[in-house]
Amino acid sequence: MIVSEEQRIRVMEGDWSPLSVGRHIVDGGLQEDPFYVMDVGEVVARYHTWRELMPRVEPFYAVKCNDDKLLVSTLAALGTGFDCASKAEIELVTSIGVRPERIIFANPAKMASHIKYSARVGVDTMTFDSETELMKIKQHMPRAQLVVRIRCDAAAAQCPLGIKFGCDPVTEAPRLLKLAAVLGLEVIGVSFHVGSGTQETGVYLRAIQYSRALFSLAANVGHANMRLLDIGGGFPGSLHSDIREVSQVINGALDTYFSDRSVRVIAEPGRYFAAAAYTLFAMVHATREVSQKDEEGIEQSHTMYFINDGVYGSFNCVLYDHQHVVAETIEPKCEKPQPCSVWGPSCDGLDCVLPNTFLPPLITGEWLMFRDMGAYTLPVASAFNGFPVPKVRAVIDSSVWSALKDLWPLSESHFCRGDPMTGPQTVDQSMLPSLSDTPSPSPSHSPAPVFVECALK
């Protein structure tokens, strides 16, 4: 079997970090394209944190956030369910062996052919928020198990979703529940999404209260077996974020309003699992000195840095996901940070990653690192103007790998030990004494990195 570079996972021993791996890749001088370092262990750690903090809430990963097969396979191996929004997402998830019962078709406005496909492969649970969707489901999948999606918006969110989806829980949902009963359709639950990147934790309490009221009402209008509460996404995903506070709000609300343990509770986290696992490395390939007037009208010098990934690639998240990305140099610098801007590689003036920031002086060929780049980046990126979408270099610590390797859909033939950088981006490892973030210690203190390469089936 031919294994492509991006399918390989490097099993790391000794001290390492995404930064040290990124440095190792660029140090050979042959790497020119931007790339991601994906730390599988970050995903595993987040899964365990979730299970510890919200044991009652089963995560169904929102595939739209990042459909990288390695991420999806890792979560499948850990046992999560999946929120799919389309036929292609269902195909992806089932192709790696996930049973249809572990999938919710969580798009309230589905194409008829996708509903038919869903029926064919046995993905029975799906959301709706309108009369026409009910009619469509009646026609194409009358045995579906339906979940009514209600609207309950956070006071502030990075990406509000209520403007597009979710019926009003007071004025619209009761009518839709009655209509579903008249049509002979089975409604089994309530779902909501408070907004992606929500900045208000209390909104989960409000949404769970609305859901409780609808569970009671549904039972009275003919939906005798309401059994699923889907609390959606909205959870933070960056390296320094924490779900402790939001989990306390959710656990408390569930204890109060859904003390009946026969109700299954799921969530659809996307950003939470994807963001921090991916670190992007991009190279400065051009610079330009300009002067611009500051707020007081005084001329200030300013450097424009052009890097090989931009808003048509990974940094589409700046436009669509309203992300604030942070550029870091990959080597320590003593020089004072200077005013500058960072631009993508395309010939479009819109292609600006950071219009006003501060970085120590950089020269062509130097690399920048951007952490927390795994959410709503890769699946949206295009190769506009001929600039390639970055490839993913996956790494896993050997301790995590030992625990995970038998759960993955992998066989022994997918593993090998040796030079990790085969193919066009080969790096001479003999020139690289250490993969550590810190200055290289003496060889006796520096365990040689050991790589085991493997690939997903």
Span of 138-146, 262-270, 380-388, 408-416 interacting with ligand PLP by CB under 6 A: 262-270
Q: How many CB atoms lie within 10 A of CB 449?
A: 23
Residue whose Cβ sits closest to ligand PLP: 233
3 state DSSP class of 407: coil
- Interface residues for ligand PLP in 272-291 (CB under 6 A)? 272
Residue 340 CB, shortest distance to ligand PLP, in Å, is: 31
Catalytically annotated residue among 152, 159, 347, 416: 347
Report the distance separating Cα 107 and Cα 457, nearest Å. 29
| Nearest residue (CB) to ligand PLP, 189 versus 234 | 234
Out of 18, 174, 270, 390, the residue judged to bind ligand PLP by CB under 6 A: 270
62 binds ligand PLP, rule: CB under 6 A: yes
Residue 36 CB, shortest distance to ligand PLP, in Å, is: 18
* Count of residues in the chain: 457
Residue 369 dihedral angles phi and psi, to the nearest 5°: -120, 140
Provide the β-strand partners of residue 196.
Answer: 159
Report the distance separating Cα 37 and Cα 58, nearest Å. 28
9 binds ligand PLP, rule: CB under 6 A: no
Which residues have CB under 8 Å from 245's CB, separation 6+? 201
| Nearest residue (CB) to ligand PLP, 8 versus 64 | 64
Q: How far is CA 124 from CA 82, 103, 107, 225, in A?
A: 13, 8, 13, 15
| Nearest residue (CB) to ligand PLP, 236 versus 449 | 236
Binding mask 177-206 for ligand PLP (x = CB under 6 A): ----------------x--xx---------
Residue 198 CB, shortest distance to ligand PLP, in Å, is: 7
Report the distance separating Cα 79 and Cα 12, nearest Å. 24
In order, the DSSP letters of 125-161 are EEEE-SHHHHHHHHHH-TT-EEEEEE----SSEEE--
Residue 268 CB, shortest distance to ligand PLP, in Å, is: 4
Report the distance separating Cα 86 and Cα 105, nearest Å. 7
| Nearest residue (CB) to ligand PLP, 272 versus 367 | 272
Span of 71-79, 263-271, 316-324, 427-435 interacting with ligand PLP by CB under 6 A: 263-271
Residue 355 CB, shortest distance to ligand PLP, in Å, is: 25
Out of 83, 124, 129, 366, the residue judged to bind ligand PLP by CB under 6 A: 83
| Nearest residue (CB) to ligand PLP, 58 versus 397 | 58
Q: How far is CA 110 from CA 118, 132, 174, in A?
A: 10, 10, 21
Out of 23, 151, 223, 271, the residue judged to bind ligand PLP by CB under 6 A: 271
234 binds ligand PLP, rule: CB under 6 A: yes
Residue 285 CB, shortest distance to ligand PLP, in Å, is: 32
Out of 18, 269, 313, 374, the residue judged to bind ligand PLP by CB under 6 A: 269
52, 55, 34, 32: which is closest to 44 by C-alpha?
Answer: 52
59 touches 267 (CB < 8 A):
yes
CA terminus-to-terminus distance, the chain: 9
Span of 91-99, 220-228, 231-239, 361-369 interacting with ligand PLP by CB under 6 A: 231-239
Give the distance, in angstroms, between the CA of residue 305 and the centroid of all CA atoms in the same chain.
28
Question: Any long-range contacts for 150-153 (C-beta under 8 Å, 24+ apart)?
Answer: 150/190, 150/191, 150/192, 150/207, 150/210, 150/211, 150/214, 151/192, 152/192, 152/194, 152/203, 152/206, 152/207, 152/210, 153/194, 153/195, 153/203
Q: At what angle do helices 87-95 and 69-78 cross, to 10 degrees?
A: 60
| Nearest residue (CB) to ligand PLP, 81 versus 313 | 81
25 binds ligand PLP, rule: CB under 6 A: no
232 binds ligand PLP, rule: CB under 6 A: yes
Residue 76 CB, shortest distance to ligand PLP, in Å, is: 17
Residue 346 CB, shortest distance to ligand PLP, in Å, is: 26
84 catalytically annotated: no
Out of 89, 153, 268, 309, the residue judged to bind ligand PLP by CB under 6 A: 268
Report the distance separating Cα 61 and Cα 271, nearest Å. 9
List contacts with ligand PLP (CB under 6 A).
Answer: 62, 64-65, 83, 106, 161, 193, 196-197, 232-235, 268-272
| Residues annotated as part of the active site | 347
